[in-house]
Structure 1
Amino acid sequence: MSIRGSAPVRSKTLRMKLRFVPHTLALRHAFGIASNTRTSTPAMLVEVEHDGVTGYGEAAMPPYLGESQETAAAFLAKVNLGQFRDPFCLEEILPSIDALAPGNTAAKAAVDIALHDWVGKKLGAPWHRIWGLDVAKAPLTSFTIGIDTPEIVREKTRDASIYRIIKVKLGRDAATDRQLIETIREVTDTPITVDANQGWADREAALKMIEWLAERRVNFIEQPMPKAALDDTAWLRERSPLPLIADESCQRLVDVAKLQGVFDGINLKLMKCTGLREAHKMITLARALNLKVMLGCMTETSCAISAAAQLSPLVDWADLDGALLIKDDPFDGAKFTDGKIIPTNGAGIGAAKR
Structure 2
Amino acid sequence: MNISIHSFTLKLRDPFRISYESRNEQEALVIQLSDTNQQGQTVTGLGESTANNYYQVSIERMQKEVALVRERIEEYSLANEVLNAGQVGTPGHLWQQLQPELQHSSFTLCAIDVAAHDLYGKKVGQPLYKLWGLNPADAPTTNYTLGIDSIEVMIRKMQAKPWPIYKIKLGTPEDLAIVRELRKHTNAVFRVDANCAWGVDETIENAQELKKLGVEFIEQPLKADNWDGMKEVYQHSALPLIADESCIVEDDVAKCAGHFHGINIKLTKCGGITPARRMIREAQRHNMKVMIGCMTESTIGISAIAHLSPLLNYVDMDGALLLAEDIATGVTITTDGVHFPDENGTGVQLLTPSPTSLV
- Normalised TM-score (structure 2): 0.90
* Cα distance in structure 1, aligned partners of 2:345 and 2:77: 20
Give the structure 1 partner of residue 197 of structure 2: 199
Q: 2:19 aligns with which of 34, 42, 63?
A: 34
Q: Which amino acid aligns with 2:249?
A: R
* Cα distance in structure 1, aligned partners of 2:102 and 2:268: 16
The answer to whether the 8 A contact 2:90-2:120 is kept is no
Give the structure 1 partner of residue 118 of structure 2: 117
Give the structure 1 partner of residue 164 of structure 2: 164
* Cα distance in structure 2, aligned partners of 1:49 and 1:169: 39
Give the structure 2 partner of residue 48 of structure 1: 33
Give the structure 2 partner of residue 292 of structure 1: 289
Q: Secondary structure at the match of 2:29?
A: strand
Q: Secondary structure at the match of 1:344?
A: coil
* Cα distance in structure 2, aligned partners of 1:190 and 1:347: 34
Residue 137 to residue 104, structure 1, CA distance change in 2 (3 Å):
same
The answer to whether the 8 A contact 2:28-2:48 is kept is yes
Is 1:138 aligned with 2:139?
yes
| Residues 215-272 of structure 1: CA deviation (Å, up to 9, x unaligned) | 1000000001011011111110111111000000001111111111110000001111
The answer to whether the 8 A contact 1:333-1:350 is kept is yes
Give the structure 1 partner of residue 95 of structure 2: 94
The answer to whether the 8 A contact 1:48-1:118 is kept is yes
Q: 1:58 aligns with which of 48, 65, 71?
A: 48
* Cα distance in structure 2, aligned partners of 1:251 and 1:268: 7
Q: Secondary structure at the match of 1:65?
A: coil
Deviation (angstroms), 1:89: 3.1
* Cα distance in structure 2, aligned partners of 1:90 and 1:157: 39
The answer to whether the 8 A contact 1:301-1:323 is kept is yes
Structure 1, unpaired ranges of 5+: 1-15
* Cα distance in structure 2, aligned partners of 1:85 and 1:336: 33
Give the structure 2 partner of residue 5 of structure 1: none
The answer to whether the 8 A contact 1:295-1:308 is kept is yes
Percent of aligned positions that are identical: 36
Give the structure 2 partner of residue 8 of structure 1: none
Larger displacement relative to structure 2 (311-320 or 338-347): 338-347
The answer to whether the 8 A contact 1:225-1:233 is kept is yes
| Residues 111-153 of structure 1: CA deviation (Å, up to 9, x unaligned) | 0011000100011110000000001011111000000012211
* Cα distance in structure 2, aligned partners of 1:71 and 1:305: 22
Is 1:126 aligned with 2:150?
no
Is 1:222 aligned with 2:219?
yes
Give the structure 2 partner of residue 11 of structure 1: none
| Structural RMSD (CA) | 1.3
Give the structure 2 partner of residue 83 of structure 1: 75
Give the structure 1 partner of residue 188 of structure 2: 190
Q: Secondary structure at the match of 1:112?
A: helix
The answer to whether the 8 A contact 1:196-1:223 is kept is yes
Q: 2:326 aligns with which of 298, 308, 329?
A: 329
Q: 2:178 aligns with which of 177, 180, 198?
A: 180
Larger displacement relative to structure 2 (113-122 or 332-341): 332-341
Q: 1:72 aligns with which of 62, 69, 90?
A: 62
- Normalised TM-score (structure 1): 0.92
Structure 2, unpaired ranges of 5+: 37-41, 80-88, 352-359
Q: Which runs of 4+ in 1 moved over 2 A?
A: 82-92, 101-104, 337-345
* Cα distance in structure 2, aligned partners of 1:85 and 1:43: 26
Q: Secondary structure at the match of 2:68?
A: coil
Deviation (angstroms), 1:86: 4.2
Is 1:265 aligned with 2:265?
no
The answer to whether the 8 A contact 1:125-1:345 is kept is no
